[in-house]
Amino acid sequence: MSIVVKICGLRTADAVDAAVSHGARYAGFVFYPRSPRYVVPTQASSLMMRLHSDVTPVGLFVNPDDDELAHILRTTPLRVLQLHGDETPQRVADIKNKFALPVIKAVGIAKSSDIEAAQHYESITDILLLDAKAGALPGGNAVVFDWPLLRGVRFAKPWMLAGGLTVDNIAEAAAVTGARILDVSSGVEDAPGDKNPQKIKDFLIKSHAMATSS
């Protein structure tokens, strides 16, 4: 079974090119000003022009209002919205209906009840993103949650695994959780917001090798 990878928090042409060249399926751009990975819409739009048609640009937002989303969608060719705040299921549904784009909803995981909370979004989101519930930022904190919590769990929608993934632990992460979509940010950086193209390459090569051998 194939492994799909999203490289999140892209800010430079070199990082985007590495993601595209080595087979990332999703390219994530952060529109949250408090994040070290934040990009202004014009910068993000320029970077998205480097993507191939088979790489989906994803915009990460934290509790956005409609005006913010509308402005960024006028400026950039985003194809998916990722909601990484404490948006309720109703808010997620409202955004999907208003902007007519697929939505990824991120949910922080620290205990089994958080998985139940994530399942409340299944009826209205297109993809769930399960991330570690820790750190000062909504994501990208290089923190791994307790993967065995996901053993035996089945979701009605596709889901992504995030939180502290690196080239050294993705094989274990996929084996323990059964994840087939991996979302990485800090694990391919030299410092927060500073993507390393070689680390992106290594992560993608490893993920594709895992898929070939599985």
131 labelled catalytic: yes
**Contact between residue 28 and residue 51 where contact means Cβ atoms under 8 Å apart:** no
CB distance 30 to 47 below 8 Å: no
CA gap 79, 99 in Å, rounded: 11
Q: Are 160 and 127 in contact (CB under 8 A)?
A: yes
Of 131, 168, 183, 190, catalytic: 131
CA distance 120 to 140: 23
Secondary structure of residue 117 in the 3-state scheme: helix
* Gap between the Cα atoms of 136 and 139, Å rounded: 8
Establish whether 54 is a catalytic residue.
Answer: no
- Give the integer Cα–Cα distance in Å for 188 and 186: 5
Closest by CA to 149, choosing from 116, 104, 180, 183, is 116
Instruction: List the catalytic residue out of 8, 66, 94, 146.
Output: 8
Active site residues: 8, 131
